[in-house]
Amino acid sequence: MSFNEIRKSNSTAAHLFQLLAFFNPYGILIEFLKSGTKGMDNDLERLVFDEFKFTEALSSFEVFSLIKWDKQNNNIMIHRLVQAVVKDEISEMDLMTFRAMTVDICDQAFPEAWNNDNRGLCRRYISQVMGPLVDRDASETVKFAEVMYRVGGFLRDDGKIVDSAHILVRLRKVYLMILGAEHPDTLTSMNNLALTYWAQGRTAEAVALQEEVLEKQRRILRAEHPDMLRSMNNLAITYSDQGRMAEAAALHEEVLDKQRRILGAEHPDTLRSMNNLAITYSDRGSMAEAAALHEEVLEKQGRIPGTEYPDTLRSMNNLAIMYRDQGRMEEGAALQKEVLEKRRRILGVDHPDTLRSMNNLAITSSDQGRMAVAAALHEEVLEKQWQILGAEHPNTLRSMNNLAITYSDQDRMAEAAALHEEVLEKQRRILGAEHPDTLRSKNNLVIMYSDQGRMAEAAALHEAELEKRRQILGADYPDTLASMKNLANTYSYRGRTAEAAALQEC
């Protein structure tokens, strides 16, 4: 009855009220509506842009107790039951129109790309776009899929991996229905879902998708198509994470050979492939080959784009890590300091690449025995990540883990144990008990317990961790072997020499 009164006096305002029934009942941000006006019909666009008429419309809704208007936070709350009644009154044709309009508004409002400057805006708008995107009755159009693609990618980048997977699983189904199994956009959506599975530690599912995509691209595209080379590169990285180093290296070498032939030896994509192959060589223990490739990449990048080009700085950073792994600490630290100084100046102190450089320099400083310098850098990184990414982002948790290790090296055992326990609790809850980051955190906490003489707790955690690594990574994976060695040491400390010897023989 209240709505009918509004419709009699102002049909456009009634139209606006119907639109509100399709958004977040717990808080529809007015700034979001205004950002998406290009997705509205002409009458609604004019109403929302006209400050006086828009205020008048919201006030009339509030007088009839149809909404609560929180002027301090600039949002609108509408009861779910009211939304349900409004939707029930709308014809099937108008329902389709409104659902399409909500997608258009989301498309206009949600940023196409994100960085540290607009990350906060994207986070605010996630609460606005998720409702329309998870609506089972949504109009599953190409526009709908495009919005899902952006939102799913942002959620993964922002550490909301489970939400990202939820969106991208549906995106794949939408593309399969609209475009078919072999359309490039469908294959791209599969690749993106695979990246999210990889971020969750679900490497077997990631590999299955990536292999399916690559098989179809080999059949559909020409042998040297850029999309296919990207897929080969992604699959190689996942193989590396599974410990399948020979297969990873073979794929990286194939990609590099084709890019050298097609693009030339000094093309940025060719140099990135050389860098990826160098990292794989390093993971295989082929340090001399890895260092030679890193140095070649850096020499070419420094000559072509300039020494402050982002790819050049990444190569300098990779070479510095390579030097550290070879025990060439002074050379590694010097390169990392140079990269950090340039990134601070070019990108700013809060940029993710700058924070990665600070973290790498902190690790090298720790390896050099400069614990106070390492702790100060880790603390600065962690403080900035808390501010930018939040307390539960995977990168924040990795920084907490690194700081805990440094505290342990400084004999600040109580602080280290508290951080390790907090990290492990959050990773179990956010990433799952079988995620590689969770297993690494569990291993670090075990070492911490051992250092504190808490051998029974250490052994219990070691045994659980070893079993999971055997299941997930396989018995011969380096991390599995490291877990076996650690458990053997713990058994030895507890006097369980026979069990320790059995593990060492394996």
Q: What is the pLDDT of residues 148-175, one digit of tens each?
A: 999 999 998 887 888 999 999 999 999 9
Residue 215 identity (one-letter amino acid): E
Residue given tokens 């990826």 in the structure block:
276
Instruction: Give pLDDT tens digits for 69-94.
Output: 999 899 999 999 989 988 998 999 99
User: pLDDT tens across 7-19, in order?
Assistant: 767 788 889 999 9
Alpha carbons within 13 angstroms on the beta-carbon side of residue 141 total: 13
Position 202 scores a pLDDT of: 85
pLDDT in tens, 225-266: 889 999 999 999 999 888 888 999 999 999 999 999 999 998
pLDDT band at 200 (very low <50, low <70, confident <90, very high): confident
CA-closest candidate to residue 242, choices 483, 441, 476, 503:
476
Res. 333 pLDDT band, cuts 50 70 90: very high
pLDDT given for residue 493 in this prediction: 61
Percent of the chain with pLDDT over 70: 92
Rounded to a whole number, what is the distance in angstroms from the first to the last CA of the chain? 77
Is 375:410 a contact under the CB 8 Å cutoff? yes
Lowest-confidence segment of 112-116, 212-216, 319-323, 414-418 by average pLDDT: 112-116
Closest CA to 394 of 69, 164, 214: 164
Dihedrals phi, psi of 424, to nearest 5 degrees: -65, -40
Amino acid identity for residue 250 in this structure: A
Looking at per-residue confidence, does 84 or 348 come out higher? 84
**Mean residue pLDDT across the chain:** 88
How long a stretch of residues is the chain?
506
Q: Burial level of 402, CB count in 10 A (0-12/13-18/19+)?
A: buried
What SS3 state is found at 119?
A: helix
Statement: residue 284 has pLDDT above 60? yes
Type of residue at 39: G
Q: What is the pTM of this model?
A: 0.75
For residue 474, is pLDDT > 90?
Answer: no
| Mean pLDDT confidence for 398-420 | 93
Above 60 in pLDDT, residue 305? no
Tokens of 4: 């009918």
Distance from C-alpha of 381 to C-alpha of 354, rounded to nearest angstrom: 9
Query: What is the rounded CA–CA span in Å between residue 229 and residue 180?
Result: 22
pLDDT at residue 13, as a whole number: 87
